[in-house]
């Protein structure tokens, strides 16, 4: 089993290569081996798995992933980290490094290259500045992923897991929960990273749904309905949707009334199932 790099070894590698952290890439390298072990354990990795890692840093997590998985593909955007990763993982014959932007990778082609693996999982300490775009990109592409286990800012994890009526609940909560079942695995304090971030972090595990948890006629319209409902949280749902869709308020009030929702209902109190009903009703209005 690969030995997880500790803080002294990480610092030694960075000093040896004269590596300079780049703020624009949101680089905070995890140096707590117990947290890494927790990530690995909760990901339930085995030799049937193809693992996609985004933002591998110097390869601390990557090496351990290679020991457990069938194959690991790591995507790194920073030019300066490429030679470090190539050197640290040169002995791994089940590893591929992609030098590029994770938001521009052709994941379907990547999966086709490794179609011999029965299970695909994402495991990563995500760069915080693009956490939400990366996660939504992976989810919206409807890739055949089994799970996503990632380190994110604590507040983002809380938003993904939030329930209706709570302060953290919003469009991100609904989008993530449409595609997956989120579980917060562990809270991780700033001292577990180098350099230390200004915020606490959390490991969150998303187990992807095999089938959407709600039935809706037009998923794209559902997400548009959710988006408009949370763009101006102080507005009632009627006013928010009337503004977003440019619809007559009376039509929307009649729709909500027919679904037994009060006239002053707000988006933050509604579940994914509620939004699916409202979205289907808006679809009927728009088709008239």
Q: Is 101 annotated as a binding residue?
A: yes
Phi, psi of 162 (to 5 degrees): -60, 150
Nearest partner of 65 among 87, 49, 88, 81, judged by Cα:
49
Q: Is 6 annotated as a binding residue?
A: no
The label of the residue with tokens 């009627």 reads 238
CB 105 within 8 A of CB 130: no
Helix (H, G, I), strand (E, B) or coil at 185: strand
Helix (H) or strand (E) holding 160: helix 154-161
Strand ranges (E), the chain = 29-30, 49-54, 71-76, 95-99, 119-125, 147-153, 180-188, 193-194, 201-208
CB 173 within 8 A of CB 159: yes
Q: Is 88 annotated as a binding residue?
A: no
CB 160 within 8 A of CB 176: yes
Give the strand order in the sheet containing 119-125: 95-99, 71-76, 49-54, 119-125, 147-153, 201-208, 180-188
Q: How far apart are CA 204 and CA 155, in angstroms?
A: 11
For residue 231, how far is the Cα from the chain centroid? 21
Helix (H, G, I), strand (E, B) or coil at 72: strand
Q: Is 137 annotated as a binding residue?
A: no
Nearest partner of 111 among 49, 56, 61, 63, judged by Cα:
49
Give, as one character, the DSSP assignment of residue 263. T
Binding residue numbers for S-adenosyl-L-methionine:
28, 30, 55, 76, 101, 125
Binding residue numbers:
28, 30, 55, 76, 101, 125
């Amino acid at each position: 089993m690969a030995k997880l790099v500790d803080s002294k070894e990480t610092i030694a590698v960075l000093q040896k290569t004269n590596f300079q952290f780049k703020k624009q890439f949101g680089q905070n390298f995890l140096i707590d081996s117990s947290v890494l072990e927790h990530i690995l354990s909760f990901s339930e990795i085995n030799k049937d798995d193809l693992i996609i890692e985004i933002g591998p840093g110097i390869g601390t997590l990557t090496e351990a992933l290679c020991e457990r998985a069938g194959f690991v593909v790591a995507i790194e955007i920073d030019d300066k980290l490429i030679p470090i990763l190539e050197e640290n993982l040169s002995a791994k014959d089940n590893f591929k490094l992609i030098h590029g932007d994770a938001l521009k990778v052709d994941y379907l082609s990547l999966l086709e290259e490794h179609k011999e693996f029965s299970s695909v999982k994402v495991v990563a300490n995500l760069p915080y500045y693009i956490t939400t775009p990366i996660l939504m990109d992976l989810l919206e592409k409807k890739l055949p992923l089994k799970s996503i286990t990632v380190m994110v800012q604590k507040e983002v994890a809380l938003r993904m897991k939030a329930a209706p009526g709570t302060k953290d609940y919003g469009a991100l909560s609904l989008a993530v929960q449409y595609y997956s079942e989120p579980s917060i695995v562990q809270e991780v304090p700033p001292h577990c990273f180098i350099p230390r971030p200004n915020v606490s972090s959390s490991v969150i595990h998303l187990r992807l749904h095999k089938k959407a948890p709600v039935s809706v006629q037009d998923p794209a319209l559902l997400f548009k309905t959710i988006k408009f409902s949370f763009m101006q949280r102080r507005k009632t749902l009627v006013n928010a949707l009337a503004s977003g869709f440019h619809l007559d308020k009376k039509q929307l009030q009649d729709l909500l009334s027919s679904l037994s929702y009060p006239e002053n209902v707000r988006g933050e109190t509604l579940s994914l199932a509620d939004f699916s009903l409202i979205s289907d009703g808006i679809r009927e209005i728009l088709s008239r």
